[in-house]
Structure 1
Amino acid sequence: MWFELNKTKKEKYKDLITNFASLSEAFSQKAEGDVDTKIDESVAPIVNSKFQETAFQRSFGAIGEDIANTSYDVSLKIDENHKYLVGIKSFGIHSGEQKIAQFKASSVSEGWSIILAKAKSNAERLSDKKLADKENEPLYKEVALKIAKLRNERIASSKELIKGFDTSDEVYIKSIYHVLMPSKKGEIAEIHVGETDYLPIDINAIKILGSTTLRNPVNFKFTDGQNVYKYADADSQLFMNFQNREIIVDTWSVNYVEDAFSFFENLHKQTLEIPNEKKIGETVSWMIANENGEVEENSGYNGFDGASKLPKTDNYRKKRISSFKKKYENELSRSDMGFIISKLQTILLKEYPAKDDKREMKRIRDKLRDRVTSLKNEEIKQAVFAMVYRPVSEMYIPIPDSRKFHNSHPDFFGKSIGTFKSNSSKLALNKNERIFDLEFLPSENRIVAYINQDNGKSIQSIGQQDILGEWILRGVFQLKEYEPLTGQRLDELGINAIRLIKYDDNDKKIGLEFIWIDVENPPEDAIGWVSRKKKS
């Protein structure tokens, strides 16, 4: 990636980073007796990670990413067919392994610590690292495989976000770590630019290297032939050895300002010219799951999981079942056909008025799904599923507390789109007057969308529902067909919320990005149940 970037933009980035680092004296403390020591011998260049990320965005026009459980910080489009997801890191050139991911929720739900507790017990019993590592290898392998699966799903999900849905197979998406590695105190003041591939873990090549120490057998290392990883059980963190010296692609000299404190004292006297940028007018964010950590059943993201939409009039459902039986009676055994017809009749001909009744219907439907899938006949599977499920990629984006939001922001999506008929839950404007462009970040794909349903609770696409659902459900959330979105899946991927962005210069385009919200410290623009946790 580094060698594909515009030379002028790279110089701007270099200037931002090295100019900041030139003030390191103001942020560093010297040891006693170092008063007469030269700055370039006593101070290490400082790289502030937040400034680094912002400088990268500003220099190269990258888009910031707000995903919790990956190290992707920005996305960068070189051209229409070349895009990068970039993990931005800074650490000393002499540093060891670096944290690259965390799996707190998954480690608890899947019992990783329980597995590693067995490894600890074995190590204490054997009192020999070599023997303990040999005995614990299957336990470490079990956890390593779980780590690899989640790590790879997160990478795949993030790539889908930047790739988008309106694209061809010719779009090249690559993941990269971009690293700044300053020299240490006493060395020549330099910042080394590093770059290495941000790779999924090769599950088939995982080899366990053993525990980090005999005294700490719940921490272990493994490799996939591409990288060496370390897992630390205490905080469910994954580390990687970056091979610091081997990934250097550029080196910058740092010249310290002679009197950094004088610079800060006189900074207010400088006249700064700041270029105009696209201004954000309003933003709003909300959680995808409810307060109990559950994603809404039957609608929203799980629209396919609702009850069948087949008409009930004129015995249509009974006729549809009979038609199926007649069409496939020579392709199915008597046992399989009897099972399928029985379950179809139960699902389609009975009434399920209460929530518990609907859950019972779903349990029956799951049994039917498993039996039909086991037949390995795609035509029969599609025929059955078309009767008992809604379209597999049917979905809309629900807005929490929608009536309250529209009443306080009637023009958020466009002039008067969020207004209602008098004493009604119905929106005041006609469908074609509730239309706006929805732009997905960071891919910049756009669809024509509109606000719909009672109280304006849904954002739906016009004419592209299947495309939108296929991309979000199968791509972003990495779900199999007919697999519901759950709170657990959101935790696994590190995506639990949505943010909408309204720009000042365009009232007919709304940006949308998938983000992570810290429930205990939600952002100021949060609405819905999580907004009650905002700190006063």
Structure 2
Amino acid sequence: MWSDLPEEKKEEYKRLILAFASLTGMFAQKSYDNDSNVSPIINSKFQETAFQKAFDAYAEDIGNTSYDVSLEENGEKYLVGIKTFGISSGDQKVAQFKAKHDEWAEIIEKIKENASGADDKDTINLLNTNLYMTLARRIAMIRNARIDSSRANIRGFKVKIDDSHVHSVYHVLMPSGKNEEPKIFVGETAYDKIDIENLSIIGCTGKNNPTNFFFTDGKHVYKYTSADSQLHMNFDNKNIVCDEWDVKYADDAHAIFGKIADVIYPENKEFSVSGDKVDFIISKDKFDEPVVEESYCWTIWNKNREVELFSGFNSFYGTGSKMQIAQRIKKIDSLDNLFNDCDEEFDSYNVDIANKIKQGVKDFLLKSSATNDARMEKVKLRNELIELADKVGSSKLTDELKKILYRPMNEVYISIPDAKSFHKEHPYFFGPGYGEVKDGSHSLRLPKEERQFNLVFEPSGDSLPAYITQDEGKAIESVEKQSYLGEWILREVFQLGEYEPLTTERLEELNINGIRLTKYRGSKDIHLEFIWIDEENPPKGYISGKR
């Protein structure tokens, strides 16, 4: 990536980083006779914003997840993990699996038990190799799912999955060490998925820490630490350097900060601070950035931290058929032809299975499921029928049965929590009157054609026409087939298999638990991005809902 970025943008980035590093004397905790003794300081948050500014990059907002920014240059899309650490430092944290800590506790305890009587590392490794491999595989699967999900977000739903123009890289800045000539080394290495097929265990980090261990996939060396459930990676620092910058320290960093203070908080009374009001000088290009008019976010799971099983992103999992009764009966009668078309010859065993399937389908399609308990009974029945079909050994029978028992497998919609209140409190967010209902009814007043807007997915920028729908405007659906959007969201963003429901566990694995909708000044478009929401410290615009 670095070699392909425009020189003028790289120079601007370099200028910003070196300007910050030149003020190292302000942040050093001790006084030194010679500033050159100090290692250059880079603030990681400043590094991210400087990168965004210099390269017109988009800030990812998915919490503790795969990438920090994304950018596009000459038709190539880059997902970038940004890091800063010393040129001589060791392994760096690349992922955390807090939600899996309890799930993996049994394996961790077994590793401790095996190691308790061992005299050395070799013995510990011999006793725990299989357990280390089990953990390494689980870590790799979750890590890879997060990477695939993030790649899907930037690639968007209009690009084929085998698109070769999306790249993922780590961009790192590595300051020189203490008592060395002050420099900043620019490094870059591939942000690869872990090659699960080539995993091998190196062993524990030490006799006293048997639950911390190293493993490799032949490309990178990783370290898992159990106490905080973190994954670290060896960046091979000195071998990934692609550029280096000389750092010059400011003679009087305090004086520079004093001048900044004079500009922001001048002593001249005409521009002085008055009450809570502060006048800031803003550069011209600040006005060129889009201004957020309204922005709201909410969690995908409900107040009980559960993903609704039969609605929203799990709409396809619903148990209530949308077919008319006559159509359902026709489907039941068509099963006989389906059995006759099976490749396998039906003996008495398969005939018995066929009868059970037909009766089960009849119960599934014709019996009501108005309560949650009734719906869960139908889920159980559906699973049993699919298992019976599998026993027949005909993939055609199984596939056709799934089409009868499930709604279209890519059918989804975006839920708006407490929609009635949302539309009342934010009546112009989607459009005037979009959420208004008819008098004495839950149905929306405006026709479908007058409830449409352009939905833009960030960070890919892909868009499609969508509209507000369902009772009290509680859902957002694509104007085109729901499956058009569902395949991308379910298979790629959430990394789900066919007919696999979205769960809280999957959201925690991917570090995606919410969505944010944003509207910019001067535009009617609604921008959507998948994010992570810390419910104990919710972001601006957070809506808890009453689900």
TM (norm. structure 1) is: 0.93
Provide the residue aligned with 2:221 in structure 1. 228
State the Cα distance separating 1:308 from its structure 2 match.
Answer: 4.3
Question: What is the alpha-carbon distance in structure 2 between the residues aligned to residue 246 and residue 48 of structure 1?
Answer: 23
In structure 2, what is the Cα distance between the partners aligned to 1:117 and 1:530? Answer: 40
Distance, in Å, in 2 between the alignment partners of 1:170 and 1:117 is: 43
Please name the residue that 2:21 is paired with.
21
Instruction: Give the 3 Å change call, closer, same or farther, for CA 399–272 of structure 1 in structure 2.
Output: closer
The alpha-carbon distance between structure 1 residues 427 and 326, as it changes in their structure 2 partners (threshold 3 A), is: closer
The answer as to whether partners of 1:163 and 1:171 remain within 8 angstroms in 2 is no
Residue number among 430, 441, 451 corresponding to 2:468 in the alignment = 451
Name the amino acid aligned to 1:64: A
- Following TM superposition, by how much is the alpha carbon of 1:274 offset from its aligned partner in structure 2, in angstroms? 3.7
Cα distance between partner residues in 2 of 1:528 and 1:250: 47
CA distance in 2, matches of 1:233, 1:202: 21
Instruction: Give the one of 8, 28, 40 matched to 2:36.
Output: 40
Amino acid at match of 1:13: Y
Q: Is the 8 A contact 1:195 1:249 kept in 2?
A: yes
User: Which whole-Å CA distance do the structure 2 matches of 1:321 and 1:463 have between them?
Assistant: 29
Matches within 5 A, 1:341-420: 341-373=358-390, 377-420=394-437
Aligned length: 521
Q: Secondary structure in 1 aligned to 2:231?
A: strand
Partner of 1:436: 453
Retained in 2: the 8 A contact 1:161–1:476? yes
Moved more, 413-422 or 212-221: 413-422
Asked whether the equivalents of residues 302 and 484 of structure 1 are also in contact (C-alpha less than 8 Å), the reply is yes
Q: Which residue of 2 aligns with 1:244?
A: 237
Q: Percent identity?
A: 47
In 2: Cα distance, 1:3 partner to 1:374 partner: 56
Q: What does the per-residue CA deviation read over 1:429-465, in whole Å, with 9 as the maximum and x for residues that have no partner?
A: 2211111111000111001011111111101100142
Aligned to 2:313: 301
Output one character per residue of 1:283-311: Cα deviation in whole Å (capped at 9) or x when no partner. Answer: 10000001212111211111111124253
Which ranges of structure 1 fall in alignment gaps of 5 or more residues?
A: 532-536
Query: Structure 1 residues 298 and 4, CA, compared in 2 at 3 Å: closer, same or farther?
Result: same
Aligned residue for 1:85?
79
Q: Does 1:526 align with 2:538?
A: no
Counterpart CA distance in 2 for 1:495 and 1:413 is 24
DSSP-derived class of the 1:126 partner: coil
Where 1:410 maps in the other structure, the secondary structure is coil
Q: Does 1:62 align with 2:57?
A: yes
- Indicate yes or no: 2:209 matched with 1:216: yes
* Residue 311 of structure 2 is aligned to residue 311 of structure 1: no
Q: In structure 1, what is the equivalent of residue 105 of structure 2? A: 113
Q: 2:53 & 2:390 partners in 1: Cα distance?
A: 51
Distance 1:207 1:530 in 2: 48
CA displacement, residues 133-174 of structure 1 (integer Å, 9 cap, x when unaligned): 111111111111110111111111111111111124445211
Amino acid at match of 1:216: N
Q: CA deviation at 1:343?
A: 1.9
What whole-Å deviation, never above 9, does each CA across 1:464-493 have from its counterpart, x for those lacking one? 421200000011000111100011110011
Partner SS, residue 100 of structure 1: strand
Is residue 2:339 matched to residue 1:328? yes
Describe the SS at the equivalent of 2:210.
strand
Distance 1:358 1:274, change over 3 A: same
Do the aligned residues in 2 keep the contact of 1:73 with 1:87 (CA within 8 Å)? yes
Give me the whole-angstrom Cα distance separating, in 1, the residues matched to 2:282 and 2:513: 39
Partner amino acid, structure 1, of 2:389: V
> SS of the residue aligned with 1:26?
helix
Matched, 1:339 2:356: yes
Q: 1:518 to 1:272 in 2, by over 3 A?
A: closer
Kindly provide the CA deviation profile for residues 67-125 of structure 1, in whole angstroms up to 9, marking residues without a partner as x: 23423101111244x211111111111110000000111232x3x22212221122221
**Matches of 1:69 and 1:335 in 2, distance apart?**
52
Counterparts in 2 of 1:374 and 1:182: CA distance versus 1, 3 Å: farther
- Kept after mapping to 1: 8 A contact 2:321/2:365: no
Determine the C-alpha separation between the residues in 2 that align with 1:44 and 1:323: 76
- Kept after mapping to 2: 8 A contact 1:310/1:317: no
Paired letter, 2:543: I
Displacement of 1:374 after TM fit?
A: 5.5
Q: CA–CA distance in 1 between the matches of 2:393 and 2:20?
A: 62
216 and 318 in structure 1: CA distance in 2 versus 1, 3 angstrom threshold: same
In structure 1, what residue type is equivalent to 2:127? Answer: E
SS in 2 for 1:125: coil
Task: Report deviation, 1:282.
Answer: 1.4
2:82 aligned partner, one-letter code: I
- The yes-or-no answer on 1:196 pairing with 2:196 is no
Answer whether contact 1:284 1:525 (CA < 8 A) is retained: yes
Amino acid at match of 2:537: N
- Residue 96 (structure 1) aligned with residue 90 (structure 2): yes
Question: What's 2:71 paired with?
Answer: 76
CA distance in structure 1 between the aligned counterparts of 2:166 and 2:546, rounded to whole angstroms:
34
Q: Equivalent residue of 2:80, what SS?
A: strand
Q: 1:170, 1:103 → 2: CA distance?
A: 29
- Counterpart of 1:273 in structure 2 is 283
**CA separation of 1:367/1:287 partners in 2, compared to 1, >3 Å: closer, same or farther?**
same
Q: Determine the C-alpha separation between the residues in 2 that align with 1:375 and 1:192.
A: 63
| Alpha-carbon distance in 2 for matches of 1:7, 1:376 | 61
**CA distance in structure 2 between the aligned counterparts of 1:351 and 1:451, rounded to whole angstroms:** 28
Structure 1 contact 178–194 (Cα < 8 Å) conserved? yes
Equivalents in 2 of 1:232, 1:131: separation in Å? Answer: 19
Q: Over aligned residue pairs, what C-alpha RMSD do you find?
A: 1.8
Shift of 1:499: 0.5
C-alpha distance in 2, partners of 1:289/1:94?
43
Q: Does 1:140 align with 2:132?
A: yes
Distance change >3 Å, CA 530–CA 364, structure 1 → 2? closer
Aligned residue type for 1:9: K
| Contact 2:418/2:546 (8 A) holds in 1 | no
Which residue in 2 is equivalent to 1:534? none
Amino acid at match of 1:519: E
List gaps (5 residues or longer) in structure 2.
264-280
Give the match's secondary structure for 2:122.
helix
CA contact (8 A) 2:221 2:233 kept: yes
